[in-house]
């Protein structure tokens, strides 16, 4: 390999990557425990007043029948039963004041409930109600995923603001059809920046909302928290009634992950990249890779261009650990290929 090419690699590693905006994993729940939800991360919202949408269920608190962690997944399960003056029960959990973010990538891997009358949602509300009259919709709502059982497979992503909301039929959103949404897991996500929000299913973008005007059109500049729930019936979910034969029915969550960029977190870590988080820094023995995109191949090269590691995964993965204890100290270049066949490079410092 020529000396010029080695210099080019070094410049790429030390300066090119450094200049990119960098994502960091800042909050997650992998549900690697059993029983009740982790109380340091989640709250239960309870009640049966219809929740502003004429919903039919009573949301219970810390009741394993309706919300539990088992086999590495969060289960939110709706039942047909008399409880609290309602004929159905379910759960609604939030990260309020335990996970609140302004901007970032919010990612939830989920399998949705099926059946007419179900209305699962993965969405966000403001933690601080600072605009207008201090209520909804002035301060905004971000619906990462909504699905109504009578229209199975149609996934909706939406924003609500003072000027754009469903009460006036002016909400902004779009939809995508996922044929196996109720039988397979999919990753529902948004990427939210200071000037736009983008919606994805399995990294396929299907909607984008661009910042415009003042707070009445764009109140998305202050902390929001995450909400997961399964409603029954309601002004949208119950348009075609409720099929009582479907109960119990459940939404399963494999994980929740939140990423933010350096400017949003104040973290100064030049080992992380837009696409891949690398830690620890520097590497002693094992190096960990974490990405919001599925990685199918990793190659690591020395500065002379010699390949020192290569792995093609049978099944693309978002997290992995590699033993680099055999490598001498120095700088290395890691090349990642994602499941969509895009490539990305990052530097590794080995002690």
What residues are labeled active site? 141, 146
Q: CA 256 to CA 292: how far, in whole Å?
A: 11
Q: What is the largest CA-CA distance in the chain?
A: 77
Cα atoms in the Cβ-side hemisphere of radius 13 Å centred on 167: 10
* φ and ψ of 3, to 5 deg: -60, -35
Cα atoms in the Cβ-side hemisphere of radius 13 Å centred on 303: 18
Q: CA 102 to CA 10: how far, in whole Å?
A: 35
71: which residues sit within 8 A by CB, 6+ positions away? Answer: none
The token duo for 116 is 């007419």
Spell out a b/e string for 245-276, using b for 16 or more CB atoms within 10 Å of the CB, else e: ebbebbbbbbbbbbbbbbebbeeeebbbbbbb
Tell me the chain's radius of gyration from C-alpha atoms.
22
Identify whether the C-beta of residue 159 lies closer than 8 Å to the C-beta of residue 165.
no
75: which residues sit within 8 A by CB, 6+ positions away? Answer: 67, 68, 69, 250, 251, 252, 253
Q: How many CB atoms lie within 10 A of CB 154?
A: 14
Q: CA 209 to CA 291: how far, in whole Å?
A: 24
Q: Which helix (H) or strand (E) holds 257?
A: strand 249-261
Identify whether the C-beta of residue 101 lies closer than 8 Å to the C-beta of residue 112.
no
Q: CA 125 to CA 226: how far, in whole Å?
A: 7
């Amino acid at each position: 390999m020529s000396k010029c090419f080695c210099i080019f690699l070094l410049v790429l590693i030390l300066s090119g990557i450094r200049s990119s905006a960098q994502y960091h994993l800042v909050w997650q729940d992998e549900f690697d425990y059993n029983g009740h939800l982790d109380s340091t991360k989640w709250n239960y919202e309870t009640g049966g007043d219809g929740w502003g949408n004429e919903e039919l269920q009573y949301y219970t608190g810390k009741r394993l029948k309706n919300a539990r962690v088992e086999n590495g997944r969060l289960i939110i399960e709706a039942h047909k039963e008399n409880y609290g003056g309602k004929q159905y029960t379910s759960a609604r959990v939030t990260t309020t004041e335990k996970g609140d973010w302004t901007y970032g990538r919010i990612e939830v891997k989920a399998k949705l409930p099926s059946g007419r009358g179900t209305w699962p949602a993965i969405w966000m509300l403001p933690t601080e109600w600072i605009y207008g009259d201090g209520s909804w919709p002035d301060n905004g709502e971000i619906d990462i995923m909504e699905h109504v059982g009578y229209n199975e497979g149609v996934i909706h992503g939406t924003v609500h603001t003072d000027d754009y909301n469903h009460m006036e039929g002016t909400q902004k959103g779009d939809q995508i059809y996922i044929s196996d949404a109720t039988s397979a897991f999919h990753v529902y996500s948004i990427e939210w920046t200071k000037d736009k929000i983008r919606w994805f299913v399995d990294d396929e973008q299907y909607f984008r909302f661009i910042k415009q005007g003042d707070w009445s059109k764009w109140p998305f500049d202050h902390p929001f928290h995450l909400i997961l729930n399964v409603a029954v019936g309601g002004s949208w979910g119950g348009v075609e009634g409720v099929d009582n034969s479907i109960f119990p029915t459940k939404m399963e969550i494999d994980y929740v992950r939140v990423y933010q960029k350096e400017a949003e977190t104040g973290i100064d870590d030049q080992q992380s990249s837009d696409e891949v988080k690398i830690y620890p820094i520097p590497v002693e023995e094992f190096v960990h890779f974490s990405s919001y995109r599925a990685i199918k191949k990793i190659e690591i090269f020395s500065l002379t261009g010699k390949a020192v590691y290569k792995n093609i995964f049978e099944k693309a993965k978002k997290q992995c650990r590699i033993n680099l204890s055999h490598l001498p100290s120095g700088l290395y270049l890691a090349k990642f290929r994602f499941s969509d066949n895009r490539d990305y490079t990052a530097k590794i410092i080995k002690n």
